[in-house]
Amino acid sequence: MFCPRIREVEARKVVTPAFDGTAIIEYYCPLCGSLLEMRREKLVLPERKIPVKKGAYIAFEGIDGSGKSYYLRSVSEDLRREGFEVIVVKEPWLKAVKDFLYKHEIDPYAEVYVFAADRIILQKEVVLPALERGKSF
């Protein structure tokens, strides 16, 4: 791609998904940061890399008080009524991590890493093995 300020450059691509099934694709100059091109395309999701053949994983995301627990209960009851085996997990998963985060005010960046480590453990030890056995979360 060509940057008018510099020359031919290997543009940095930024993809921002939208709610209408499209994505805004932006190309930036890696040297000066200028926006070189912007367009909207149909969103193509990356191929799923987790080798799961059975089961389903449903995540409820939201801020505190947004109703995650309510919808979690409602959906899991509906799925059980339909005959699915449902396992419910909540993050942080490890009690030690939960206790630590509630008791200590830590650097926000460090908190992200603690949450990420907790999620990896939950996924590897609980979620993925259960999905392989055909459970729904």
Shortest Å distance, C-beta 8 to Zn ion: 10
Shortest Å distance, C-beta 14 to Zn ion: 15
Q: Is 3 in the site for Zn ion (CB under 5 A)?
A: yes
Q: Determine the Cα–Cα distance for residues 85 and 136; give it in Å rounded to an integer.
A: 6
Q: Is 112 in the site for Zn ion (CB under 5 A)?
A: no
Q: What does R_g of the chain's alpha carbons equal in angstroms? A: 21
Range 19-38, binding Zn ion (CB under 5 A): 29, 31-32, 34
Strands of the sheet containing 35-42, edge to edge, are: 12-17, 22-28, 35-42
Q: How many residues bind Zn ion (CB under 5 A)?
A: 7
Task: Name residue 88's amino acid.
Answer: V
Our CB check for Zn ion shows the closer of 8 and 61 to be: 8
Indicate the SS3 state at residue 40: strand
Q: Which residues bind Zn ion (CB under 5 A)?
A: 3, 5-6, 29, 31-32, 34
